[in-house]
Structure 1
Amino acid sequence: MLETSARLLRLLSLLQARRDWSGAELAARLGVTPRTVRRDVDRLRELGYPVDASPGTGGGYQLGAGAELPLLLDDDEAVAVAVGLRTAAGQGIEGIGETSVRALAKLEQVLPNRLRPRVSALHAFTVPMLRGPRAVVDPAVLTELAGLCRDAERLRFAYRSHDGTVTRRTVEPHRLVCTERRWYLVAWDLDREGWRTFRVDRLTPKPPHGPRCTPRTPPAEDLAAYVSQGVSTRAYATQAVVRLLVPLAEAAERISPSDGTLEPDGDDACILRTGAASLDVMVMHVMLMGFEFEVLRPAELTEALTAARDRLSRALERPASEGHDARRTRDGAGRRPGSRSGSSAAP
């Protein structure tokens, strides 16, 4: 009995993880015969799970919507979990956001229709208090994208670039990646024939989606590092590699994935790869991190830092003229802050 119950839970998990399975695939995953799979599917149906089956060579099993929830969750608990997952997914909480989307996609797949209005209303009329600006992402869009990634279906959407230009895209979605402030979609762009990273808050799905596609080899094993490097380094004209003279853990507390990518370099140092719009901006970017550092490349950054150091030295060594100080004192005493030079103050 315990073995059968464990197998039913495993079967249910497989049906939730992908849109459809053939009987042979399920049998191979579970280590049983196709006949046993058919019996287990019947048991799930008896427990209230609407498992649909389609005959023929291209047929298979699919978990339908509106299944009765397991006894582990009553209606109130199901609503609370769904709202909590939506909130965590929409706020991009580090370390939980991506997991929340996967769990939310599974839960909403079997959420009874009678509970859906309660979940939507509670989420719509709840206002979270966030620390710092975050890109607002509709959790429904996240779960839609997660489902398309899971089912390997083509996605059509309108995309708004940083300058406001809107283009239509057709992609093969691969994975969602979240940072502490934003969500990104890693996908193969069919029109541009290459891997692209899209900010989800700038993306508006345009159904119908499909057809199914064969999953491609991802652009990197570590997709989080791939996205971080793309948004912090590859997107900028000026790129640099800097050795920070602090441990990796200390640097990571101040440098977010959108600022650059970090990798260890011994116990007391780490390597930062980052980007900026120009060398002058890069100088400010590196200096404001507040760490001792060494420039590894490019050599032009060292030259820009030297020039900035010389300007600062000259500014500190140059005495202010007495006439300028006197004029500043007189002007400051004769004018109220914000009034134009030479004009009298309003009565």
Structure 2
Amino acid sequence: MAPPASRRAGDEAAERIISLLWLLLSAPHGLERDRIRRQVVGYEGLSDAAFEKLFQRDRRVLRAVGVPLETLEADSFEEEAQGVRHRVVRDAMLLRDLDLTVDERRALVRARRLWGDSPLRADVVRAVGLLFAPTPDLAADDELAGYHALTPRADPRLEALTQAVAEEAVLRFPYRDARGRESRRTVRAWFLTLVRGRWYLTGWDADREAERSFRLTRMEGEPRRVERAASLPGRPADHDHADLVARLAGQADAERVRVWLAPGRGQGVRAVGERVDPRAEDGAAPGDGWELWEAPAGTHEDGLAAEVGGLLGRAVPSAAEPDLARRVADALATAARAHAGPAAPALLEVPLAPPVRRRARDSSEDLVGRLLDIVGLANRADGVDRAELRARLGVTEDRLDADLETLRYCGMPERDFPGFQFEVDEEGGRVHVRRAADLAGPVRLTRPEGHSLVAALQTVADLPVLDDADRAAARSAQRRIAEAVLDAGGAAASAADDEALAEAEAGTAPTPAPGGAVAAHWDVAVDPETVRTLLAAIAERRVLRLDYRSVHADVLSERDVEPLAVVQDGARLYLRAWCRSAGEDRVFRVDRIGAAAATGEAFAPRARPARWRVHPDEAAGTPAVLRWAHRVRDAAAGYRPEAQADLPDGDRLTRVRLTDADVAAALVGRHGGAVEVLSPAAMRAHVKDALDRAVDALAAR
């Protein structure tokens, strides 16, 4: 049967790989390479080198989707054999039923939805879809129905690194540290951790001979696998992951500092601190009406020093905080010097290009895995409901149609086994796949999928807006997934050799630390009760009255809003709502909401946006070219660059749109000399004047 003329790019490869699998499944004692080469369509006519390369690639794809393969030497057989044979370990191939409770299933549905925008989405969606059918009743009356997550931020390397930490692979990559120094590092991968919206790789650094952590966005190239190095220490079973998270977060929450705030100003400080009475060591107030506030010092990048710097003289450290005062003054003075005179002509001449936005593409692993999942779910007497199948796979109608069409040309190699391809039918809204008896159920989860699912469940377990029973159910599901997939030796999805695969199959591979090798804790600093109030108002369509501390205007205002969604982006939480005061859709940072109370009024449903964005319209604002020092260039992504370029020293130039020159001055003040406005010249001059005034205000103290 000839395939249709219109085909997807990966269909031919998927058909070849599935025919290889079915050929191996038909031979319990395995098959020799020469026979495989003769019978699988697509291997014929290739040179020895080309066949070997394609055959190994196809085996890697099968392993990546969970199929356990092994290589048997001739003396492994009772009967006389001609050479090495390849076979599928059938007893270890299928996913076993975990018999999850209703509450555990609900936790998994929440994990799947919360990680819907993650680069690890495919792992989580597949894992949940295979474990059970996510029926509507599991999402009914969900407290998180109005909660949407845009985190974790996508990094194209994340999927490969998840596989690397699952197998404790050794990686080599170029890395530029916070000071801009570049080096090549060789690391045995232990953990991937999401902290404050940033991903970190932690492992044993062979060059430093110590544990080290690396921010993914500071990797200057793609990590490459190197030969397994048994001499490099593996992941410690007793590793203190809580301490690791604290170190990566740069937590200094226990340290509190005191600052003077101008009347009505410093709303960001007021949102996280408390007003205190002055002491003699605090010195005199800088002016009439100034108040003394105490707040957590926070981290160097996001803490109080940055907040005070961005206020440009409207906040002044207490006389009892000389270190903070010196740090802020030095940063503002450095920024002022950077803006003295016109920008460097060489920087203005650097060509900028639109950021590369990688589109989600179906890899061979994605397509083959999904096709096998369809077979595993539909290969039963009564088939599977089409709507259920689409929900479990997390695909559109068009993609499901294309997948079913491709499956019609899969099965045993057609040249030698005509008529033994799958029979795919739809009857009464149910999908049936026949002539596929060798796959009686879904293929088991891979180790990377298990680690991703454990991490997603950790996010749910950390959510303070859920009650104790719901969070306990997430932890229970997390333990059961870890025991069934990780501790039991899930499929190795990698290019590992047969020895490494056999080690994993035998259960002798290193056991992950509790919680898995991927961790994504919910570490958003907001008041849980405020979030509960917002989510309840969204569910009940109730108007809320907010006391809101504006980020840009730096004023406290009262707003009546119609709440639409709570959206997490990185380590921040936002409320998308229709603001009745402004008469338009607005975004409010949840940590800046001082109070939220229902007015008793209901509102009619409004049209929901296609995507829950939290950044302003790219077309609004004044275009500006900024230079971001390497240590803060991650922050540039939050301003949605229209174009950018990376400099040899690791700095980044971006063209962004800013609301006005005051916003530019606050941005520069917040980051000190690490951000510079290059153009337009008028905005640069305005920033310089604002910085000079701030330096003078601090010097007067």
* TM-score bracket relative to the smaller structure: 0.3 to 0.5
Q: Tell me the TM-score normalised to structure 1 length.
A: 0.40
More relative contact order, 1 or 2 (CA 8 Å, 6+ apart): 2
- Compare the two structures and name the one with the higher helix fraction: 1
